[in-house]
Amino acid sequence: MIKEQLETIAQVAAQAFADVRESSELEALRVRFLGKKGELTAILKQMGKLSAEERPVIGALANEVRASIEDKIAAAAAALRERQMQEQIAQETLDVTMPGKRRPIGTQHPLSLVLDEIQDIFIGMGFSVAEGPEVELDYYNFEALNIPKNHPARDTQDTFYITENVLLRSQTSPVQIRVMEKQKPPIRIIAPGRVYRSDAIDATHSPLFHQIEGLVVDKGITMADLKGTLVTFAKTLYGQDAVLRFRPHHFQFTEPSCEMDTMCFACHGEGCRLCKGEGWIELLGAGMVHPKVLQNGGVDPEEYSGFAFGMGLERLVMRRYGIDDMRLFYENDLRFLNQF
Ligand code: PHE
């Protein structure tokens, strides 16, 4: 009886393990045959009923059946592992001949491109780059620059006030004072950055734009240094054949003051659309630092003199690339930006 039962189990098991697909199935079969409540165990529990002669014979047979089932489990498990590995290898196959995905590479913004170029030119002349805050005190933006409260010169820069004494800087000139407060002459810096004016947006105006300030302070600095430095700068930027001129002007924080123009690249002085019929294009404002401004920066005007200049970055870039609308700089339209 028991002998037949054992033989049946061996047969059934041989069948069952042949088509195992999942490790969960395999585990279920192991429990079914060899588990504590499994089929083989159930049979072995009847061993007590056997006679003394039968017991060793059936015992040996039972061990054989158990061993053969264990072998089948091990073989099925190995086959399963092998199949899973093959599947994984097939899945992870890398076709190195497939065309790659191109990652788009950005370009530098035209304002950054030209600013970098301008910085390089001044660094080449021994300048270093300084910075100041965009949220500025009225004191630095105006008062220390010889523009007292209620002075009409304030009206030329429509300023965003945050409180009575705090504003968004309307020019980079406040950095002049901040640098002089921190650093003894000789001083040779440029200070690029954002400035703000309450202007309506159109092709040539924006409430946010960029300026580059320059300041040189040392013993014996003269207008000749100003002219030499700015002409060298402009010719490096626009080419050695650029024609430049200085015109007298007025700024509260420089005396004397001037503006530097370049002869129109398009019409060479004839007058055209680019220069609005003038023949000349204004590049920057400059002048000898006012003695009061030196004093406000803690520099003795009896001992030192200096010159300062300021230019609008957007206008330089527009001229450089023939861009006729300032709004293009801020709209982040890729069709525009990709051209640089
Ligand atoms: N800050 C002046 C402006 O915004 C430019 C300037 C700077 C002029 C330094 C002279 C010296 O118009």
Residue given tokens 């409180």 in the structure block: 163
Work out which ligand 1 atom sits closest to the CA atom of 172. Answer: 1
- Kindly give the distance from the C-alpha atom of residue 229 to the centroid of ligand 1, in angstroms, as a whole number: 16
- Kindly give the distance from the C-alpha atom of residue 246 to the centroid of ligand 1, in angstroms, as a whole number: 15
Task: Name the helix (H) or strand (E) containing 242.
Answer: none
Per residue in 81-108, pLDDT (tens digit) is: 888 898 898 888 888 898 988 998 888 9
The length of the chain, given as a count of residues: 340
Per residue in 22-67, pLDDT (tens digit) is: 888 888 888 888 888 888 888 778 777 888 888 888 888 888 888 8
- Which range scores top for mean pLDDT: 76-85, 171-180, 195-204, 326-335? 171-180
Residue of the nearest CA to atom 9 in ligand 1?
309
The mean pLDDT of the chain is 91
Q: Which of 173, 175, 250, 292 to mutate to test the pocket of ligand 1 (most atoms within 8 A of CB)?
A: 173
Rg (CA), the chain: 43
Work out which ligand 1 atom sits closest to the CA atom of 156. Answer: 12
Token couple for 114: 């030209």
On whether the CB atoms of residues 257 and 286 are closer than 8 A, the answer is yes
Q: Which of 250, 251, 255, 290 to mutate to test the pocket of ligand 1 (most atoms within 8 A of CB)?
A: 251
Omega before 256 cis (within 30°)?
A: yes
On whether the CB atoms of residues 16 and 10 are closer than 8 A, the answer is no
- Kindly give the distance from the C-alpha atom of residue 286 to the centroid of ligand 1, in angstroms, as a whole number: 6
**Around Cβ 39, how many Cβ atoms within 10 Å?**
18
Beta strands in 227-291 (DSSP E): 244-251, 254-263, 280-289
To the question of whether residue 255 is assigned a binding role by annotation, the answer is yes
Q: Which of 298, 147, 292, 118 is nearest to 214 (CA)?
A: 118
**Ligand 1: which residues within 6 Å by Cβ?**
171, 173, 213, 251, 254, 285-287, 308-310
The domain spans of the chain are 2-91, 110-337
Domain 110-337 has CATH 3.30.930.10: yes
How high is the pLDDT of residue 65?
83
Q: Which of 129, 187, 175 is nearest to 306 (CA)?
A: 187
Grouping H, G, I as helix, E, B as strand and the rest as coil, residue 215 is strand
Grouping H, G, I as helix, E, B as strand and the rest as coil, residue 313 is helix
Token couple for 263: 């002869």
Per residue in 246-272, pLDDT (tens digit) is: 999 999 999 999 999 999 877 888 988
